[in-house]
Structures are given as structure tokens and as C-alpha cells.
């Protein structure tokens, strides 16, 4: 009988934004299932710390500083991936930033660009530069982390919603283009998850406690999500268990969008 660890044995995965939150949880899950990991993040020290823990636990992992807005960073990280592990099978485009709760009529263009350049351009660049490496391996899996706010609106989050909605349709377009290459491309749409990003946003809000209570109440399951719950979905999409899925939106939101 196969063990969970064998599901991704021999596979190489690159996870962006892997220093914390969903990225870190996804890297740990993929490593536990046998994949060799490249952990990238703007926070180089954080990514390195997670990679060291994975290696200490018997896994294969390296880390790199990575600004997903920069094509040259993508070229460098992919070169490191191929140099160390021989290729790439799985790309998890996870790096992102939260909305800053600015009303649309007060939103400045530089604020808009800051969010969209990371959340959307970063995903485009990831696929643009990692695509050839995946094709060279005879196929693979791309998992783009979107959001429920790529499916429904939210006040004060115009740039964030636009960026995550863009990720959803970018995913579908790539899935159609790359199906003949045996590269599957799917998006994951988490509800509000207790990550450092969400916690910091709530802490910076003058009514953070009240906002948290409202967010919890908006999820029919009566709580926020956990990063590990999203990581489980990432591992599923990375594995052959999802071999007939491409262009799909995997919603993990405690019932938020069912209402």
C-alpha cells in the first residue's frame, strides 16, 4: 500500500511566499509527501528557516530571496531550482499581500499597482518563466492561490478583489493553453484564514476585534480557516489524485460563498 509520503516522491516543487502562512504550510505538506522543495520569499531569512527545518526532518529543501514582481528574480530562482534538483514539476504561486482597506474613491494608483503587481503580475510571471521548465519535464501542476475575494466583492478591497479575480481567469486561460502539454493549472480560493497576513491586517484596523467577529460570523462553519486546511488542498492538486482537474476553482471557505 502506498504511503502519503510516496504521493509526491521524485517531484520538485517551488512555493512562493513560503516563509509564513499558507505558503509555509503548503511547503511543509508537500515536503511531508515526498517532494523536494524550493522555498522563495521576499523574506529570505524566514524562507531559509523553514527550509532548514524541512532538511532537519529528513526532507530536501533550499530557499531563496524572491521578489515575484521581478522577471530577473524568477529567472534566478528557476535556475537555482534546476541546478539543485534537475527540474520542476509543481509551482505554487502563493506570494501575495492583503488589501489596505482604502475606499475606491480614495485609492491611489500606486496603491493599486502595489497590490496588483504582487498578487496578479507575480502569478503571471511565475507561469511565464516556470512554464518552459514544467514542459521540459513532460508536464506538471500549477496551483495559483486566489481567494474568495476573487469570486465575490468586499468593501475597501477593490485592488485585492481585482487581482484575485484576475488570477482566477488567468488560471483558466493557462489551463486551456497548457492542457496539450500535460500541465494542469488550477486555482485555490481560501476564505479568511488565520495567517500572519490576516492577523496583521486585523491588528492594524481600529476596529480589529469587531471586524474579526464579523468575519467569523460570515463563515457558516463559525470560524476562520487554518493554513493547514489550504495546504491539504494544494497537496491534492499537486498530486496525481487530481489528474483530471485543470482550470478548476477549489473553494475552501467554510461556506462563505454558499450564502
Look at residues 66, 11, 64 and name the one whose alpha carbon lies nearest to residue 38: 64
Among the options 74, 85, 129, 160, which is catalytic? 160
Respond yes or no: is residue 160 known to be catalytic.
yes
Distance of alpha carbon 16 from alpha carbon 167, whole angstroms: 15
Tell me what pLDDT residue 4 has.
47
pLDDT digits (tens, 9 = 90+) for 40-76: 999 999 999 999 999 999 999 999 999 999 999 999 9
Tell which CATH architecture fits domain 4-191+226-258.
3-Layer(aba) Sandwich (3.40)
Q: Where are the domains of the chain?
A: 4-191+226-258
pLDDT digits (tens, 9 = 90+) for 80-139: 999 999 999 999 999 999 888 899 999 999 999 999 999 999 999 999 999 999 999 999
Q: pTM value?
A: 0.95
Angle between helices 208-218 and 196-203 (to 10 degrees): 130
The 3-state secondary structure of 111-155, one letter per residue: HHHHHHHHHHHHHHHHHHHHHHHHHHCCCEEEEEECCHHHCCCCC
- Do 258 and 220 contact (CB within 8 A), yes or no? yes
Contacts of 206 (CB under 8 A, 6+ apart): none
Amino acid at each position: 500500500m502506498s504511503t502519503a509520503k510516496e504521493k509526491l516522491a521524485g517531484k520538485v516543487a517551488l512555493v512562493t511566499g513560503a516563509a509564513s502562512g499558507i505558503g509555509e504550510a503548503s511547503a511543509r505538506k508537500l515536503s511531508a509527501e515526498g517532494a523536494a522543495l524550493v522555498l522563495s520569499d521576499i523574506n529570505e531569512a524566514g524562507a531559509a528557516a523553514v527550509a532548514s527545518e524541512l532538511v532537519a526532518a529528513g526532507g530536501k529543501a533550499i530557499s531563496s530571496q524572491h521578489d515575484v514582481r521581478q522577471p530577473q528574480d524568477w529567472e534566478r530562482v528557476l535556475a537555482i531550482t534546476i541546478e539543485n534538483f534537475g527540474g520542476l514539476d509543481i509551482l505554487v504561486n502563493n506570494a501575495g499581500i492583503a488589501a489596505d482597506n482604502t475606499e475606491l474613491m480614495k485609492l491611489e494608483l500606486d496603491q493599486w499597482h502595489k497590490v496588483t503587481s504582487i498578487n496578479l503580475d507575480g502569478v503571471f510571471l511565475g507561469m511565464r518563466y516556470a512554464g518552459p521548465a514544467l514542459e521540459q519535464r513532460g508536464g506538471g501542476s500549477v496551483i495559483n492561490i486566489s481567494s474568495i475575494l476573487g469570486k465575490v466583492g468586499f468593501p475597501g478591497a477593490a485592488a485585492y478583489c481585482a487581482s484575485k479575480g484576475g488570477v482566477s481567469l488567468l488560471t483558466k486561460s493557462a489551463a486551456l493553453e497548457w492542457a496539450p502539454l500535460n500541465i494542469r493549472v488550477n486555482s485555490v480560493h481560501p476564505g479568511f484564514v488565520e495567517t500572519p497576513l490576516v492577523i496583521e491586517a486585523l491588528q492594524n484596523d481600529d476596529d480589529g476585534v469587531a471586524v474579526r467577529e464579523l468575519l467569523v460570523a460570515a463563515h457558516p462553519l463559525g470560524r476562520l480557516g487554518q493554513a493547514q486546511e489550504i495546504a491539504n488542498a494544494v497537496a491534492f492538486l499537486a498530486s496525481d489524485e487530481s489528474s483530471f482537474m485543470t482550470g478548476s476553482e477549489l473553494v475552501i471557505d467554510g461556506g462563505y460563498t454558499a450564502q
